[in-house]
């Protein structure tokens, strides 16, 4: 059904009636606004108190979180893990240990290892060196990591995870072919002896492997030009 268009009041009677309705509506709106204003004045102090309390609680939680992170970083700065401790770990604990060692060395790191991780158990970030991917291979002391692991890490580190540095870490050793292939194709490896220097003696991973600095953006742009 079509709506009828509005029309202006006709005649003096309709105009007077319209004026009365307008005045009544204006008076009602004014009363409502005044009531809302007085209610706000009554409630405002409580709202201010509530906001202040919420702000104090939020600030306390932030300070507690920051303090907890600082304490953890200080504790990790002294982290030392022996090979005997690493050998008895399960796969997940080994990955967490590698993450903590990266944090100790100044990286921002997180553990991502899970099923379908595409050859990345730990991912770290450093302002100077870029992104690093660690593939952890926890095995028997006499266990050896073969070339297939190197192929997999090389194929996913850059294209999938956007990493500039790829490292395979084991508490065992590597086959000769795996070491040679890694050195040829820039996949770093940490075997049992290097793991002792890193975890037990406190040598940073960047110093242990002589990791390169990421080229400055201006240099890259200049070369591209």
Q: What is the pLDDT of residues 125-145, one digit of tens each?
A: 999 999 999 999 999 888 999
**Where do runs of H (alpha helix) occur along 134-216?**
147-157, 176-184, 192-195, 205-209
User: 159-176, pLDDT tens digit by residue?
Assistant: 999 999 999 999 999 999
| 8 A C-beta contact, residue 79 and residue 101 | yes
Q: Flag whether pLDDT at 44 surpasses 70.
A: no
| 8 A C-beta contact, residue 166 and residue 186 | yes
Q: Does the predicted TM-score (pTM) go above 0.75?
A: no
What Rg, from alpha-carbon coordinates, does the chain have?
34
The span from the CA of 91 to the CA of 50, in Å, is 48
The span from the CA of 65 to the CA of 17, in Å, is 67
| 8 A C-beta contact, residue 173 and residue 144 | yes
- Which of the pair, 13 or 221, is modelled with greater confidence? 13
Q: Flag whether pLDDT at 36 surpasses 90.
A: no
The span from the CA of 117 to the CA of 167, in Å, is 15
- Reduce the DSSP state of residue 82 to 3 states and report it: coil
Paired residues of 169 in beta bridges = 136, 190
Paired residues of 18 in beta bridges = none
The span from the CA of 194 to the CA of 199, in Å, is 9
The span from the CA of 201 to the CA of 38, in Å, is 71
User: 47-67, pLDDT tens digit by residue?
Assistant: 666 677 777 788 767 877 666
Tally of residues, the chain: 225
DSSP element (H, E) containing 94: helix 91-104
């Amino acid at each position: 059904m079509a709506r009828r268009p509005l029309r202006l009041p006709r005649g003096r009677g309709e105009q007077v009636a319209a004026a009365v309705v307008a005045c009544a509506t204006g008076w009602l709106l004014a009363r409502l606004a005044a009531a809302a204003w007085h209610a706000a004045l009554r409630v405002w102090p409580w709202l201010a108190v509530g906001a202040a309390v919420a702000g104090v609680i939020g600030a306390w939680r932030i300070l507690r979180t920051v303090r907890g992170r600082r304490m953890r970083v200080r504790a990790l700065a002294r982290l030392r893990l022996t090979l005997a401790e690493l050998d008895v770990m399960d796969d997940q604990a080994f990955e967490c240990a590698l993450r903590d060692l990266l944090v100790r060395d100044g990286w921002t790191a997180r553990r991502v290892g899970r099923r379908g991780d595409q050859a990345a158990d730990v991912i770290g970030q450093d302002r100077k060196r870029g992104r690093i991917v660690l593939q952890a291979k926890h095995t028997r002391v006499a266990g050896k990591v073969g070339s297939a692991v190197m192929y997999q890490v090389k194929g996913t580190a850059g294209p999938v995870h956007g990493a500039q540095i790829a490292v395979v870490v084991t508490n065992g050793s590597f086959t000769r072919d795996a070491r040679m292939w890694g050195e040829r194709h820039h996949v770093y490896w940490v075997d049992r002896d290097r793991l002792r220097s890193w975890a037990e003696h406190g040598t940073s991973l960047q110093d242990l492997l002589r990791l390169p600095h990421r080229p400055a953006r201006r240099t890259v742009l200049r070369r591209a030009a």
